[in-house]
Each structure stands twice: as C-alpha cells, then as structure tokens.
Structure 1
Amino acid sequence: MRDVKIQDRQHDRDSYVVAIGASAGGLTAIRELIAELPKGFAAPIVIGVHSEPSSQLTEILSAQSSLKIKKVADGDLLEPGWIYVVPGAQHALFRNGRIQLSEVVRESGFRPSIDAMFMTLAAEYAEQGIAVVLSGMLKDGMRGAQVIHDMGGQTIVQDPADATHAGMPNSVIRHDHPEAVRSAAQLGIWLRDLVGTT
C-alpha cells in the first residue's frame, strides 16, 4: 500500500506548485507579483496571508489578475493556472495534490501559518515546490523555507528594500538559501520564466 501512495505522490510532483506567504504590507506585493503572471501559468499558486476571518483578499485579487482565482475550500484539487487564496485565520496544508484546511497548527501563533504551509509543500512536492516570501513582520516562513531548501525545492524572497515590512524577508535571507531576492514584480517575472505556460 505504501508503494502505491509513493507512486501517486511522485505523479503529483510532475509540475511546479507555488506557495506565497505574506503578512503586513503583503497585499501590494502580491498585486505586483501576480500582475506579471500570464494567463495559462503552468502551476497552481496558493496564497496565505496573516489575516482575520473577514478577509476580502480573494475579491480584491480577482479584479486584478488574468489568472483564475478562488478562495480555498477544504479538499480543493490543485490545478495549473489557478490562484487559491487561503481563507482568513485558517491554516492550509498540502495533502495528496489537494489543499486541506485546518483550525489548529501546533506551535504557531500565526493564522494561517506560513511555516506549516511551506513544510507540507516540501513534504508533498520536494524539488517541485517553490516558496515565495513577501512583506511581513517577524519570521513566519523561515523554518518552512529551510525545509523547502532541504527537500530540494526553491525559495524566492522579496527584496527587503522593496517590502513595506522587511521582517519576514530578512529572516529567510539570514537563515535560508534563497534562489532569488528581488522586488515583488521581478519575482513574478522570475516565476513566469521558470514555470512557463500551458
């Protein structure tokens, strides 16, 4: 049974999966990044931003991107060309090609936990996982970025000078091995060039 599960997960890793984590000041950075992504972007994107249950991030982004955007529902199957926005104050975990929502993640005071999102991305997609760290205070995402690196994936980080709040980007730059440190818009171009279109 375990062999079948491994084969299924290997099939799921045939293409890239992108997870974006942000906090304070992240909305502007997200807008600038996704503005550079073309229709038919060949990877699913999951966006987690520290937020309250009343977050309107999905509605805000839907008016500004050529990509299809939806708020994550528990168990959503990931498809290329879609942006999945984690609901406010819920955690998002990658499981067998889908997104699982959770109310509880141990040892995390952040909602959603960017660390948990990145760690499960690494566990599911290994070298095909791409973590993106944008503006935010403190250091959520740092440990998850380290796991992404250890599993062969890539982390890219907003240039602290370009971020409204440099805490999250700086924590990853100091403790990880980011593949690129650029402005939010330039990170969008980096992703577009790497991933391509369907």
Structure 2
Amino acid sequence: MRWSDRPWAMPLYALAAALALGELAVVWLMLHPNVPSDYRAYYIDRTTTCLPQPVTAAYTLGTIVDFRSGGPDTRELRPCGWEGPAGDGMHALGESARLAFAVPAQDLTLTLEMTGVTLPGPRQQTVIVSANGQPLGRAVVTPGKTGRFTFPLPASAIANGRADIILDLPDAVTTSPGQSNVRKRSIKLVKASLTPATASSTP
C-alpha cells in the first residue's frame, strides 16, 4: 500500500499544509506588519526620532504658551521630541519634534520663539515646519540667540480640529561620541502661539 493510500495520510497532508501556510503568514506579517504609520517610521523604517504619544492638545486660540521654567504645564501640547523645560526653554530632542493644538479649522498664524543651542557644530540650526503634511516654511536659528518666527497655517492644514505641527531639525548635533540620534540637540522652544490670520499675513 502506498503512503498516500493509507487512511490517515490525507489528514497529515492537510495538517502539514496548514502549518506551512501558518509559517508563511508569520513571515509575511514580519515583512509587512500592520502597524500605525508613526510606529513604522520610528521602530521599523527608522525615518524619525519622534514617536507621538497621546495628548489632549487642549489650547485656547490666541494664547502665548511659555515653555520656559516656571511656565505652565505644556505636556498636553507636546506629543514627542522634547525635554525640559530647562531654564530659558524646552529642548528639542532628536531630528524632529512635534506640537499639537486643538483649534478651529480656519486660517491661522503660527508664531514660534526659538533659541539655537550653543554646541560644537553648524553655525546655524535650520527648522523646517509643517502641519499635517503641509509645508509651512523654515526658520534659521542662531546659537545663543532667540528669534521670533511666524508661519501661515492654512485651514486645510488643520485636521479633525487639531493642528499637528512637526519641526524637522536636519542640523541637530550629538553631544557625545556614539550618542543615539534620539538625543541630538538643536534648538530650545521659548514660546508658541496660534492666532487668527490677518489680511496681511494670509498667503
């Protein structure tokens, strides 16, 4: 009697096929994990150093938020990429940092006051600002000096009643040899605000 003719052969074949399919499914999931895009960018693709955490983004339009020591608790406005406050501002960590503001969908003006860190490295720190995937502009921040920068924030860059601001920091520097990218330094955030856009500030 051939192996395949035995009555218990077919169930064994079916079991082996099921196990093989299960292993293939595991391999496929490893190569194509069904995870949120932010998780993938941080842990798998390593294209960002900022993994957003849940925040309320509670904010009153027009309020100037002070990020220096002694200022209000700003944790619910900072999804990721910040450390502090430390004296005269909130340190940005890594190669990007995020802010979140719950605001109505209307044309606004984003104002940021930032100071460049005084560390060996580039003579200036470039800050590329975007909101919900839309570029808003860039700022060049000088080490040891505080600058005030404004960016038009169109209503189309506000999603679900929230402006998610990303600061990309391509000139961020490490403070010691072998340091992880997530610990890079670049700027300190001093103040931030969102105000209704005026005719002169509307692009």
Shorter chain as denominator, the TM-score bin is under 0.3
TM-score normalized with structure 2 length: 0.24
* Higher relative helix content: 1
- TM-score of the superposition, structure 1-length normalised? 0.25
Q: Report the structure number with the largest CA radius of gyration.
A: 2
